[in-house]
Amino acid sequence: AMNQIEREDAFDLDPAAVPGRQQAGARLIDVREAAEFDLCSAAESVLLPLAALEDAVAQGAIGRGTELLMICESGRRSATAATRLREKGFERVFTVVGGMTAWRARGLPLRRSELSDGDLERYARQMILPDVGASGQIRLRESSVLIIGAGGLGSPLALYLAAAGVGRLRVVDPDRVERSNLHRQIVHRDDGIGELKVESAARTLRALNPDLRIEAHAVALDDCNSDALAQDMDVLVDGADNFAARHHVNDAAIRTGKPLVYGAVHRFEGQASVFWPGRPENPGPCYRCLFPDAPPPELAPNCAAAGVLGVVPGIIGLVQAAETLKLLLRRGSSLVGRLLTVDVLSMRFREIELPRDPDCRSCGLSRP
C-alpha cells in the first residue's frame, strides 16, 4: 500500500511547475466540460472532456511520447483521467494538484476571454450550463429586446432579462407609477409614485446590472411608431394591458419578421405563447390568429376593473423571460404554435395547440 501511495504522489504536479513543463513541450489537458473551460481556463491548455477521453485515445489524438499534464477544477477528474491513460500504456502523465482552483489562487496565467472579470463573476452560475457557456453569454450581451409595457408582466420580464445579461432593453410604456401597481409591478418602488414607469424601471434595472443599455420610451405604441421601435430588436415581448397595443406590436412583428413573446393575465389565470409567422422553418401563427379583433371592453376588463392576484403576472412574466432567453440563445423548443395557460387557484397548467389561420388578415397565406 505504501508503494502505491508513493507512486501516486510521484505523478502529482504542483501548478507552479506547469508553465515550465509547457515550455519544455508538455501538453496541459483540461478534462472539464466545455462550459467550464469557456468560463475560465489555464493559458495554453487544451480542452478534452473526461467523457471524450476514451475516443481520443482510440483515434490516436493523444501522442504517447508527449508529456501530458491533466487538469480539472479541483483535481478529482484529472486524477481519474491520468489513471485511465496510465492503464492504457501512457507513461508520462501527471495530475495538476488542486486543479483550476489552485491555479487561480497562485495567480498563474489564464486564457483571455471576451468577457470582463466582472461578467465572469456575475454570470458564472449561468455560463457553466452546457447550453450557455461563454459563447452564449456573449450572444446575450449582443442581443436586444423590445418590452411593451413596464407593468405586471414587464416587471419580472425586464428584471430577469437584465439579470441574465441581455445587453440592450428597450422599454415602452406611457403611464406613471401608482401605488395600486406595486403589489404586482415589482420593478417599481413606493418612492417612485408619480414617476414615468419607463424611468422608474430603468433606474431599477441599471441598479441591478449597470453594464446594460436601457432605453426608456414613454410613448403609447401605435401604427406610426411600432415598426421603428421594433426594427432593430431581436425579440419583441408583449407585456401590454390592452388589445390595441397587442395588435400594434403583433403587426410590427409580422412586418419586421421578428418573434413576438406573448403574455396576458386575468384575475387568477394567465397565458403565454410565442407568435412567429416569419420563422424561417415551420412558421407559426400570429396574435390575430388567436384574437382577430378586440372584444368589447366589458368582455376584456383590465386589472383595474377585474383585479389580479399579484403573483399571476409574475408567473407569466417569467415564462416570457424564459422563452425570450431561449430564442436569443437559440436553444430548446419555443411556444410557437402552443398556448400555455395556468390557473393558480388549482395550480394547473394546460397546453393548447395553436394552428396558423390561413385566412388571418395579418399573416394568413390567402391574404393579398
Prediction pTM value? 0.80
Which pLDDT value is given to residue 212? 95
46-55 pLDDT, tens per residue?
A: 999 999 999 9
Residue 169 one-letter amino acid: L
Q: What is the pLDDT of residue 40?
A: 84
**pLDDT for residue 21:** 93
pLDDT band at 4 (very low <50, low <70, confident <90, very high): very low
C-alpha cell at 69: 499534464
**pLDDT tens digits for range 70-92:** 999 999 999 999 999 999 999 89
What pairing do the DSSP bridges indicate for beta strands 269-275 and 260-266? Answer: antiparallel
The mean per-residue pLDDT over the stretch 179-208 comes to 97
Given this model, what pLDDT does residue 204 score? 97
What are the pLDDT digits (tens) for 273-331? 999 999 988 899 999 999 998 776 666 666 666 789 999 999 999 999 999 999 999 99
| The three three-digit cell numbers of residue 188, written as one number | 417599481
Q: What mean pLDDT, rounded, does the chain reach?
A: 91
Q: Which amino acid is at 231?
A: Q
Residue 114 is predicted with a pLDDT of 83
* pLDDT of 203: 97
**With bands split at pLDDT 50, 70 and 90, how would you rate the model's confidence at 174?**
very high
Residue 59 banded pLDDT, cuts 50, 70, 90: confident
Per-residue confidence at 365, pLDDT binned at 50, 70, 90?
low
Averaged over 35-39, what is the pLDDT?
83
Residue 39's nearest CA partner among 131, 134, 174, 179 is 134
Is the pLDDT confidence value at 340 over 50?
yes
**From CA 324, how far away is CA 122, in angstroms rounded?**
20
pLDDT, mean of residues 191-216: 97
- Model pLDDT, residue 367: 56
Mean pLDDT of 216-242: 95
What percentage of the chain reaches a pLDDT higher than 90?
A: 75
- What are the DSSP calls for 315-346, one per residue? HHHHHHHHHHHHHHHT-S---BTEEEEEETTT
- Residue 102 pLDDT class (50, 70, 90 cuts): very high
Rounded to 5°, the CA angle 106-115-319 comes to 120
pLDDT at 305: 67
**The pLDDT of residue 8:** 44
Q: What is the pLDDT of residue 300?
A: 61
Give the Cα separation of 58 and 62 in Å (integer): 9
- Average confidence (pLDDT) over 250-271: 96
Report pLDDT for 299: 60
**Confidence (pLDDT) at 1:** 42
**What pLDDT is recorded for position 133?**
86
What are the φ and ψ backbone dihedral angles of 143, each rounded to 5 degrees?
Answer: -95, 165
DSSP string for residues in 87-115: HTT--SEEEETTHHHHHHHTT--B---SS
